[in-house]
Amino acid sequence: MIDKEILLKAFATIREAILICSADGNINYTNSAMNRLFGYEKGELLGKYPSILNKGPRPELVTKEINSILELKGYWEGKINNKKKDGTGFISYARISALKDREGKIINFISTQHNITEQIKMEKILQESEEKYRKLCQSAMDGIYVISVDKGFEYVNPAVVKIFGYESEELCREDFDFFKLVHPNDQKLIRNRQKARIKGKRLPSRYEFRIITKDGDTKNIEVNTVLFGRKKEKILGVMRDITKHKKIEERLNLNQMMLEDSERELKSFSRKILAIREEEKKNLSTILHEELGDMAVGLSSYLASIEKDIKIHAFENAQETIEKSKSLLRKSISKLKKIAVDLRPPDLDILGLPGALNEYFLKFHEYVKLDIILQLNNYKKKASDKTEIAIYRIVQESFKNIIKHANANKAVLSLSSDEEAIILNISDDGRGFEVEKRSHKNSEQLGIRGMKEMAESLKGTFTINSAPGKGTKILVKLPAE
């Protein structure tokens, strides 16, 4: 049997507070840790009753309750509200055991205690934090969930329920198959992540995949995850439905591609326009050079001949040469007028748009066999100079195409106006064409594209409808003001 003195020396070195009472309840031993815990000097508690350590209006009742349990079970443990010598209250966790002799008679009570006041405060703080966190999770717009690698969902907030369409009880069932939620095309991605996680590989915390809801809808979700638990066997995740964002992103990408295509087309179109302008300048320069050059050479020759004939009094020859000079001059002036009209039809300024179109088609009939019906009486409101020029050029380009490509017998041109718009309709009964296929032919695309660009530059619209064997219809609407 261990010597009592040896036991007491051992108790003195133990960090846990130890108190020993006699069978009648008087304190007959406290170790240094017990004295420090309650703020007493060595030996100061000896002979006192333990109830002086208890805080409360009736500490003797606490002692009585503890004693009754001790007599019944032989031990007691639990929390006790205690106080230090200076009256400072604290909570300790105590274990009390009854020591009995061989006959079963209680000879001593031994108690161990330690201060758990801070622990209780921390538990309370953690509990309050957990409550706040749960309330926050419940009201969060994003889905928050805890999932176990082995057991599936352990917790889901209402936002997760809304995303998947399943009730929380369904999702958190042990037999619920998580992979029934994952889109078939994305299951390989999720399984590969699982395998990599089991092997301990580091993975990006943020990733996206598609899910199938309870109603069978497909949704895109974004997930941010973090591993926790002793063996990193659980995942805390934040989930967000990004289906709308994905659709917007796809539309933006499509629009970006369309914009890039349009930019390429515009650059190509601009290059063609510049080439055509340079060609027009070249042709104009050539025509002017030839016409004016021929006229100058011809007139110079004729004038020299006239001068010679007059000197020798050959007046009849001089008169004949003068008539030739007049004829050459008339032809040259006529050609120069045609060039000027092509550059800017003067009839627009003198007769207005309907009159200019009438004059254009009177000359048109001189060299083209095409039945043309003009409906110009509904054009009541004079448009701006830019608008009328655009309409005139579109009419020129349209009828050039009809003559060149349509093989039509009849064409109808209708020009009308109201308070909001100038409306031009051109139709023919020609062979027609497939608009989509024609748009890939550069030379013809340029004519149609040019008319379209001209209309849109004035904030108007240009529409062309055609089909093989069904003729062609062009509708142009330009703002009246």
158 lies in the same domain as 230:
yes
The closest alpha carbon to 408, from 318, 345, 471, belongs to 471
CB of 446 within 8 A of CB of 269? yes
Residue 68: other Cβ atoms inside 10 A? 11
The gap from C-alpha 210 to its chain's centroid, in whole angstroms, comes to: 16
> What integer pLDDT is reported at residue 63 of this predicted model?
65
Does one domain contain both 333 and 358? no
- Least Cα distance to 388 among 427, 428, 418, 344 occurs for 344
Do 351 and 455 belong to one domain? Answer: yes
Q: What is the pLDDT of residue 439?
A: 55
pLDDT of residue 284: 67
Residue 443's pLDDT is what? Answer: 45
**CA 415, CA 279: separation in Å to the nearest integer?**
32
Task: Output the pLDDT for position 424.
Answer: 93
11 & 83 share domain: yes
Q: Give the number of other CB atoms < 10 A from CB of residue 237.
A: 18
Regarding whether 197 and 176 lie in a shared domain, the answer is yes
Q: Find the distance separating the first CA and the last CA of the chain, reported in whole Å.
A: 118
My answer on whether 106 and 161 are in the same domain is no
Residue 390 is predicted with a pLDDT of: 87
Q: Give the CATH number, domain containing residue 229.
A: 3.30.450.20
Residues 397 and 475 in one domain: yes
- Same domain, residue pair 18 and 111: yes
- CA-based R_g, the chain, Å: 52
Q: Are residues 171 and 230 in the same domain?
A: yes
Domain enclosing residue 27, as ranges: 4-115
Number of separate domains in the chain: 4
Residue 68 sits in the same domain as residue 187: no
Which of 343, 367, 394 corresponds to the end of one domain? Answer: 343
Residue after which a domain boundary falls, among 241, 260, 285:
241
Q: How far apart are CA 55 and CA 131, in angstroms?
A: 30
Mean pLDDT by 10 residues, the chain (481 residues): 59 79 85 90 88 74 66 78 90 85 82 87 75 65 81 85 89 86 90 79 85 91 83 83 86 86 74 67 68 72 80 81 80 72 70 86 79 86 81 89 89 89 92 74 61 87 91 91 68
The pLDDT assigned to 370 comes to 86
List, as one string, the DSSP characters of 1-20. ---HHHHHHHHHH-SSEEEE
Domain boundary among 241, 259, 278: 241
Provide the whole-model pTM: 0.41
Instruction: Give the dihedral sign, CA 475/353/356/295.
Output: negative
pLDDT digits (tens, 9 = 90+) for 8-63: 666 666 778 888 888 887 888 888 888 899 999 988 989 888 888 888 666 665 66
Answer yes or no: do 427 and 443 share one domain. yes
CATH of the domain at 426: 3.30.565.10
Residues 20 and 97 in one domain: yes
Query: Which of 173, 174, 139, 175 minimizes the C-alpha distance to 159?
Result: 139
